Amino acid sequence: MRVAAFVEAGHSCRAAARHFGVSDSCAIKLMQRQRQSGSLAPARQGRPPGGGKLVAYETFLIQTVEAEPVITMP
């Protein structure tokens, strides 16, 4: 937020990077993210929910843990 405020106050992204001790690319990408999405929040990382190797076994695993919550899976 401070880097973005510094840039919005009229400084360049590179000047903001030097001032706050971050890389030039960090400040540039931060401002690009703010222009594109309107937010400084980081993008979600990782695989989208509902995918993965265990999705086929999700119901079984949930039922097993609900039936006996304190177990060690083999």
Amino acid at 65: V
Structural domain includes residue 55 = no
User: 8: domain range?
Assistant: 2-37
Structural domain includes residue 14 = yes
Give pLDDT tens digits for 41-64: 988 888 777 778 888 898 999 998
Q: Map tokens 């119901």 to a residue.
A: 59
Structural domain includes residue 10 = yes
Q: Is 25 left (phi over 0), alpha (psi -120 to 50) or beta?
A: alpha
Number of domains in the chain: 1
Structural domain includes residue 6 = yes
Give the mean pLDDT of the chain: 90
Its pTM stands at: 0.59
Structural domain includes residue 28 = yes
Structural domain includes residue 54 = no
Structural domain includes residue 20 = yes
